[in-house]
Amino acid sequence: MAAQTRLSHVDGLAGELIVGGYQLKELAGRVSFEEAAHLLWRGALPSRDELKILNKEIAGLRALPEETMHVVRAAAKAPPIDALRMACATMSLDLKQPDDISPAADMQAAKVLAARFPTVVAAHARLSAGKEPIAPRTDLPLAANFLYMIHGKEPDPIAARAVDTYWVTVIDHGMNASTFTARVIASTRSDMVSAVTGAIGALKGPLHGGAPGPVLDMLKDIKSGDRAEAWVRNELAAGRRIMGFGHRVYKVRDPRAEVLSSVADKMSSAALDNRKLFELARAAEQTILKVLDEVKPGRNLRTNVEFFTALVLQALGLEPRSFVATFACGRVAGWCAHVIEQHSEDHLIRPQSEYIGPRGLKIGGE
Ligand code: ACO
């Protein structure tokens, strides 16, 4: 048990995720990302007035300072998640007292980070495509503004709602690797920006947030439902893992996959190519589950959040290389909430390790 938390709870056997006291399905698609962030940061959903104030504050913080934009430009050829990590590190520059870890300073830093992450990811997506970044608008919700800054036009409401639902769905998830990283850093009384910068590094890996890009590659490789069985058997025989399946905690279907499957279903009804991909994914999912049960009996490898994330994000017209950075735009609110909680506990996290090396060696080998 690494920490006690009021923020979220994952029940891997029941397939339940509780966020701030609510079942995920109670929140996803029903509250905005800003409302869910308020729930985690303040312990309750906002009143109408509180939400108005929060929306206004976050809208006012979206534009990137020159130093941050400079780093995003310099990182135009780097993977988006690396650009986000570098840009995030600059976000302490215009905080009044970056080392202040009081609740008020943490809250301000949380708003800055949540407001600016989508701007960084959108600016980087445009720069890496040889286009100029688009300045954020303050009159749109965070999710709609994200799509506006990427595509240069106001998004249709279904697409904006899909991003909002996606970010709420991934906002927090117990003591996952990136959240643990953030909490360890915060536990040393280090600051919010340092903790979140470290968390991005942990999220990047394919065993954590980096799986949706490879999920899309897998579906493209499988091509049609009837090829799925041979494909997955071949991968498993080669000792490779199937991306979008398996989870350290869930031994049943990830409840986030459930939410995102219906978002992907809605999103894909607008375009034929997306529909075909969605239908392929549904067919491939069933085959993969069957083969995993057969080849890896007793491991209970089930569909995880990343499988349907891939479909939602590609239907939104995002490049697979931006997927993990887009995930970070949602998870950042959870990381910040954990940093606030860890700072308030003021307890150093210092796990033990088991020494399995030799003992009693002597210089010179005698
Ligand atoms: N495909 C094939 N085999 C798998 C998979 C998979 N996706 N996941 C686990 N296994 C197998 C392992 O090979 C191992 O087999 P063995 O007992 O024969 O050696 C067994 O299941 C247990 O594996 P562990 O690594 O001990 O399981 P762990 O709980 O550590 O794995 C993880 C969790 C890392 C997510 C894993 O399931 C995986 O690699 N999945 C694919 C990557 C992925 O989808 N990541 C996103 C996770 S969701 C998120 O972080 C947001």
DSSP state of 170: T
Catalytic residue selected from 258, 306, 338, 341:
306
List CB contacts of 81: < 8 A, sequence separation 6 or more. 200, 203, 204, 209, 210, 324, 325, 328
Rounded Cα gap, residues 33 and 333, in angstroms:
9
Looking at the CA of residue 254, tell me the nearest atom of ligand 1: 48
9 labelled catalytic = no
Q: What is the pLDDT of residue 366?
A: 57
Closest residue CA from atom 21 of ligand 1:
299
Each residue's pLDDT tens digit, 21-31: 999 999 999 99
Any atom of ligand 1 within 6 Å of the Cβ of 9: no
Any atom of ligand 1 within 6 Å of the Cβ of 242: yes
Rounded Cα gap, residues 118 and 145, in angstroms:
8
- pLDDT class of 2 with cuts at 50, 70, 90: confident
Domains of the chain plus CATH, in order, are: 8-208+324-345 (1.10.580.10), 213-315 (1.10.230.10)
One-letter amino acid at 345 equals E
Any atom of ligand 1 within 6 Å of the Cβ of 233: no
Rounded Cα gap, residues 269 and 360, in angstroms:
67
Any atom of ligand 1 within 6 Å of the Cβ of 230: no
Each residue's pLDDT tens digit, 165-213: 999 999 999 999 999 999 999 999 999 999 999 999 999 998 888 878 8
Closest residue CA from atom 47 of ligand 1:
208
Any atom of ligand 1 within 6 Å of the Cβ of 241: yes
247 labelled catalytic = yes
